[in-house]
């Protein structure tokens, strides 16, 4: 369920603003929307400080490969500040050294064919009246140089011809590039690169030696982030005469705790239930066993809106079945189960993600067993007791159970459409129940949608598997559902019935398109059959490729083909789950519910670290 919120405004005298915000932060209950458009000098300074802290931490972590053996130590704030300044200085020094190394190596690569000449000797020649001008140019351009021009041809530079023109430079319009000599000799550059490389290595060692303070960096980074949030919220307070106030949202279940704190600190406050115009954050309290779906929501980044409702239970149930049908193979489910066991063994604890993987893998194994699919292998199925688990009406190997392929495929497709009809109808039932509580007569429009969904189910069956359908009954019922949607879809509590009808008639074309969309949504559930069938076909193809090689010296090649082929098929199956399994919940089902997943997760203004602890 979505936890009800209270909209709360806290009012204090201006000089108590800092204490009030610090107390609210320590309390950690109020979700406050900070105005990110407001910036302060302090905020800019803190952001710059945070960037330096992150830079130092990343560079320290990158300098170490084996971190497990390094014991962490703590620093107080003054010592940490000194250390961080020194580390930033070393990082900047290393950056300059690396730039110098790159620059010198480029120069070395360009002039090493000329030998260890000293550029200062060129300067001495100039003092004696002999001027040399160095150029790089192509062979064609070299042949175009006037015969009166004196030059010395040198070894190539950057795959270009190189020359030294004596006394007079080439005309500026001539297609040749002036080459600037380095300030030092080749050997001096090589020595400088070696010295700078040693300095870089010394700095790397220095950084790795300070890995023992990474936890201190994590602490002060969190502290800096906390100060940035504090400054943003401080800038977001509203001023009125000698008073300031801040508005946020607190879970209804925690309101008493806030009220006690307000009374203790002599704050003024005002609380009310959020209106439809407000946008409270969403805090979901999962039912027992349903919370395992949260890792998937976190990955998808989906949060239901506060006014939209919680569908976690239905999402979990349908997603689990969709996952099993799309993967479709009990052998793959067994691999997922082994993976879940290994994850739990490695982490030494049972996480919600682990439990979700257990559920998905077990349901996949059940579905695969019922259809007789174990790594897409006919041999595994028919030569083991696994064949006794099969439901012949939906098996992927119908010939062995006296069924035709068309009959079993039609049965699976019909099951997909039954699932779609149940899920879309469930969405309308949820809407109706919610509107009954709100005394909203637009629930009659949801009854109309329910009629259309149930009737369109028979139309879909007729079109896809040629099941009988009495269109003389279907069309009137579809028109009835459409009429109910048009007449009652725009009705709202507190609005006149006539106005609702007027608005509904104004959107008649949109309702017509939505009815067509309802048909396509129901048809969309055939993807469960199609993707599952594709997964089976790919598995069987790789089995057929490997079968002739299973025996003798080619057995290893056959095993290799099976491992690679089924691994690719497994990965493609997981991608299909995201594309198709999640889509049916987030688009078709949620769309029928009218959900936009526009929620903002509840993140209270709170201490992330104890600022008084180092």
Same domain for 132 and 175?
Answer: yes
Q: Please indicate, yes or no, whether residues 220 and 298 belong to a single structural domain of this protein.
A: no
Last residue of a domain, one of 184, 209, 227: 184
Element (H, E) at 153: strand 151-157
Structural domain for 438, as ranges: 290-593
Query: Which element (helix H / strand E) includes 593?
Result: helix 590-593
Residue 265 domain-assigned? yes
Rounded-to-10 torsion of CA 334, 337, 343, 344: -140
The closest alpha carbon to 488, from 476, 499, 475, belongs to: 499
| 276 and 294 inside one domain | no
The per-residue DSSP string of 472-510 comes to HHHHHHHHHHHHHHHHHTT--TTS-HHHHHHHHHHTHHH
Q: Extract the residue ranges of the chain whose pLDDT is less than 50.
A: 613-614
Q: Are residues 342 and 226 in the same domain?
A: no
Domain count, the chain: 4
Strands 5-13 and 177-178: unpaired
Q: What is the largest CA-CA distance in the chain?
A: 111
Residue 47 shares a structural domain with residue 8: no
Residue-level pLDDT at 35: 80
Co-location of 108 and 123 in the same domain = no
Q: Where are the alpha helices (DSSP H) in 6-40?
A: 17-27
Q: Indicate whether 392 belongs to any domain.
A: yes
- 20 assigned to some structural domain: yes
CA neighbor of 282 nearest in space, from 3, 563, 528, 581? 3
Which H/E stretch holds residue 542? helix 527-546
Structure tokens belonging to residue 327: 């993967």
Yes or no: say if 233 and 34 are a contact pair by the CB < 8 Å rule.
yes
Dihedral over Cα of 270, 271, 277, 279: its sign? positive
Which residue in 174, 166, 94, 102 sits closest to 134, CA to CA?
Answer: 166
Over residues 513-531, the pLDDT tens digits come to: 888 889 999 999 999 999 9
0.95 exceeded by pTM: no
Asked if the structure places residue 340 within a domain, the reply is yes
pLDDT at position 142: 86
Residues 462 and 353 in one domain: yes
Residues 426 and 544 in one domain: yes
CA 441: distance to chain centroid?
40
User: Is residue 609 assigned to a domain?
Assistant: no
User: Are 387 and 426 in the same domain?
Assistant: yes
Position 63 in a domain: yes
Q: Say how far apart CA 247 and CA 234 lie, in whole Å.
A: 12
Q: Under a CB-based contact definition with an 8 Å cutoff, are residues 472 and 538 in contact?
A: no
Consecutive H or E run containing 532? helix 527-546
The encoded tokens of residue 547 equal: 């079968």
User: How far, CA to CA in Å, does 80 sit from each of 77, 83, 84, 220?
Assistant: 5, 5, 6, 9
Would you say residue 600 lies in a domain? no
218 and 295 both lie in a single domain: no
Q: 67 with 211: CB under 8 angstroms?
A: yes
pLDDT of residue 435: 87
Asked if the structure places residue 612 within a domain, the reply is no
Cβ-in-10-Å burial (0-12, 13-18, 19+) of 415 comes to middle
- Tell me the two tokens of residue 126: 């100039």
Q: Are residues 518 and 566 in the same domain?
A: yes
User: Is the same domain home to 295 and 159?
Assistant: no
């Amino acid at each position: 369920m979505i936890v009800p919120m209270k909209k709360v405004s806290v009012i204090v005298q201006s000089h108590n603003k800092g204490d009030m915000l610090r107390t609210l932060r320590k309390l950690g209950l109020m979700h406050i929307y900070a105005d990110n458009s407001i910036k302060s000098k302090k905020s800019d300074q803190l952001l710059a400080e945070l960037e330096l802290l992150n830079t130092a931490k990343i560079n320290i972590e990158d300098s170490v490969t084996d971190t497990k053996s390094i014991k962490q130590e703590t620093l107080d704030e003054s010592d940490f500040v000194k250390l961080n300044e020194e580390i930033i200085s070393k990082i900047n020094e290393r950056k300059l050294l690396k730039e110098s190394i790159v620059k010198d190596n480029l120069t070395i690569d360009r002039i090493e064919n000329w030998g260890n000449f000293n550029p200062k000797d060129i300067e001495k020649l100039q003092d004696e009246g002999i001027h040399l001008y160095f150029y790089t140019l192509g062979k064609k351009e070299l042949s175009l140089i006037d015969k009166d021009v004196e030059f010395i041809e040198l070894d190539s530079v950057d795959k270009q011809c190189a020359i030294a023109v004596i006394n007079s430079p080439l005309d500026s319009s001539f297609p040749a590039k002036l080459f600037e000599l380095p300030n030092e000799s080749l050997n001096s550059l090589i020595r400088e690169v070696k010295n700078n490389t040693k300095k870089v290595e010394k700095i790397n060692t220095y950084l790795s030696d300070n890995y023992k303070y990474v936890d201190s960096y994590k602490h002060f980074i969190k502290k800096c982030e906390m100060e940035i949030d504090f400054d943003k919220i401080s800038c977001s307070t509203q001023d009125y005469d000698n008073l300031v106030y801040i508005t946020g949202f607190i879970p209804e279940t925690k309101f008493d705790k806030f009220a006690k704190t307000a009374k203790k600190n002599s704050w003024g406050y005002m609380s009310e239930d959020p209106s439809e115009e407000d946008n409270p954050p969403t805090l979901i309290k999962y039912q027992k066993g349903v919370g395992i779906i949260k890792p998937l929501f976190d990955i998808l980044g989906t949060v239901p809106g506060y006014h939209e409702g919680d569908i976690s239970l239905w999402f979990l149930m349908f997603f689990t079945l969709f996952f099993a049908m799309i993967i479709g193979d009990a052998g793959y489910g067994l691999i997922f189960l082994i993976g879940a066991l290994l994850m739990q063994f490695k982490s030494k604890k049972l996480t919600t993600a682990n439990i979700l993987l257990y559920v998905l893998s077990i349901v996949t194994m059940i579905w695969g067993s019922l259809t007789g699919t174990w790594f897409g292998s006919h041999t595994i199925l028919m030569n083991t007791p696994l064949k006794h688990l099969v439901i012949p009406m939906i098996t992927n190997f119908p010939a062995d159970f006296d069924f035709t392929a068309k009959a079993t495929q039609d049965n699976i497709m019909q099951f997909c459409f039954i699932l779609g009809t149940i899920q879309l109808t469930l969405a309308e039932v949820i809407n109706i129940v919610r509107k009954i509580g709100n005394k909203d007569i637009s629930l009659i429009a949801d009854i109309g949608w329910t009629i259309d969904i149930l009737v369109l189910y028979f139309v879909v069956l007729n079109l896809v598997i040629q099941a009988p359908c009495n269109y003389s009954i279907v069309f009137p019922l579809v028109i009835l559902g459409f009429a109910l949607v048009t007449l009652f879809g725009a009705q709202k509590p507190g609005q006149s019935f006539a106005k609702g009808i007027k608005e509904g008639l104004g959107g008649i074309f949109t309702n017509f398109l939505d009815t067509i969309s309802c048909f396509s949504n129901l048809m969309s559930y055939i993807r469960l059959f199609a993707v599952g069938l594709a997964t089976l076909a790919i598995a069987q193809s790789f089995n057929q490729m490997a079968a002739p090689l299973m025996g003798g010296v080619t057995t290893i090649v056959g095993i290799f083909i099976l491992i690679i082929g089924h691994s690719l098929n497994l990965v493609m199956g997981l991608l299909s789950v995201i594309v198709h399994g999640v889509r049916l919940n987030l688009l078709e089902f949620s769309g029928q519910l009218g959900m936009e997943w526009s929620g903002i997760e509840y993140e209270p203004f709170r201490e992330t670290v104890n600022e008084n602890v180092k």
